[in-house]
Chain A
Amino acid sequence: MNIAASIKTELIKTKRSAALWIVVLGAGFVPFIMMISYLVQPKQNIERLYKNNPNPWIFHVGNIWQGFSVFLLPMFIIIVCSLITQIEYKNNTWKQVFASPQPYSNIYFSKLTGIIVMIFFLFVLFDLFTLGAAIVPNLFYSKYGFLTHSFNWRNFLTLNLRTFISTLGIIAIQYVLSMRFKNFIIPIGIGLACLIATLIAMGWEHIFKIPYAHPFLTMRFHEVKKGVLQNHEWNAIGYFIVFTTIGFFDMKYRKERG
Chain B
Amino acid sequence: MNESIVQTDNLYFSFKAGQPVLNGINMKVPKGSIYGFLGPNGAGKTTTLRLLLGLLNNQKGEIKIFDQHLAHHRIDILKRLGSLVEQPSLYLHLTGYENLEIYRLIYNCKKQRINEVLEIVGLTTALNKKAKQYSLGMKQRLAIAIALLPQPEFLILDEPTNGLDPNGIIETRELIKRLNKEFGTTVLVSSHILAEVEKMATHVGIIHKGNMLFQGTLKELQLMQSSKSALEIETSDNNKAAALLNDIPELSQTDTAIIIPYKNKNQSAAINRRLVENGLEVYALHPQHNDLEQLFMDITSKGK
Binding site for B on A (CB under 8 A): 1, 5-6, 8-9, 12-13, 15-17, 87, 91-93, 95-103, 253-258
Q: Which residues in B have their C-beta under 8 angstroms from that of A6?
A: 105-106
Whether A96 touches B94, Cβ cut-off 8 Å, given contacts A1-B106, A101-B75, is: no
Name the residue of chain B whose CB is nearest to the CB of A10.
B102
For residue B76, which residues in chain A have a CB less than 8 angstroms away from its CB?
Answer: 101
A99 engages B54 (CB within 8 Å): yes
Give the interface of B toward A (CB within 8 A): 50, 53-57, 75-76, 78-79, 83, 85-87, 89-94, 98, 101-103, 105-108, 146
Among A15, A100, A103, A258, contact of B103 (Cβ-Cβ < 8 Å) = A100
State the Cβ distance, A90 to closest chain B Cβ, in Å: 8
A99 to chain B, nearest CB (A): 4
Cβ-defined partner of B94 (8 Å) among A13, A103, A255: A13
Contacts known (A17-B93, A96-B89, A101-B107); A12 close to B98, Cβ less than 8 A: yes
CA distance A98 to B85 in the complex (A): 11
Which A residues touch B78, using CB under 8 A? 99-101
Closest chain B residue to A257 by CB distance?
B55
Chain A residues whose CB sits within 8 angstroms of the CB of B93 once the complex forms: 15-17, 87
B106's partner among A5, A256, A257, A258 (CB-CB below 8 A) is A5
Q: Report Cα–Cα, A91/B91, bound state, in Å.
A: 6
Give the interface centre of B83, B101, B106 by most chain A CB atoms within 10 Å: B106
Which chain A residue has the least Cβ–Cβ distance from B158? A95
Q: Which one of B56, B87, B146 lies within 8 Å of A255 (CB-CB)?
A: B56
Q: How far is the CA of A87 from the CA of B54 in the complex (A)?
A: 22
- Per a CB cutoff under 8 Å, which of A1, A12, A15, A93 touches B89? A93
Q: Quick one: closest B residue to A96, CB to CB? A: B89
Residues of B near A96 (CB, < 8 A) are 83, 85, 89, 103, 146
Assess whether A99 is in contact with B83, with CB atoms less than 8 Å apart: yes
The CA-CA distance from A245 to B89 in the complex, in Å, is 28
Tell me whether B54 and A91 are in contact (CB under 8 A): no
A192 to chain B, nearest CB (A): 25
Which residues does chain A contribute within 8 Å of B102, judged by CB atoms?
A: 9, 12-13
The docked-state distance in angstroms from the alpha carbon of A15 to that of B131 is 13
Bound CA span A5–B50, Å: 25
- Distance of B236 from chain A, by nearest CB (Å): 65
Within the complex, which residue of B75, B85, B92 is in contact with A103, where a contact is CB–CB below 8 Å? B75
- Nearest-neighbor residue (CB-CB) of B84 within chain A: A96
Q: Which residues of A contact B53 (CB under 8 A)?
A: 95, 98-99
CB-based nearest B residue for A20: B93
Given contacts A96-B146, A100-B78, contact A91 B90 (CB under 8 A): yes
Q: Which residue of B lies closest to A253 (CB)?
A: B57
- Picked from B55, B83, B91, B98, the residue with its CB within 8 Å of the CB of A87 is B91
**Cross-chain contact A15 with B94 (CB below 8 angstroms):** yes
**Smallest beta-carbon distance A254→chain B, Å:** 8
- Measured between beta carbons, the chain A residues less than 8 angstroms from B57 are 253-256
Residue numbers in A under 8 Å from B87 (CB-CB):
92
Inter-chain contact A95/B107, CB cutoff 8 Å = no
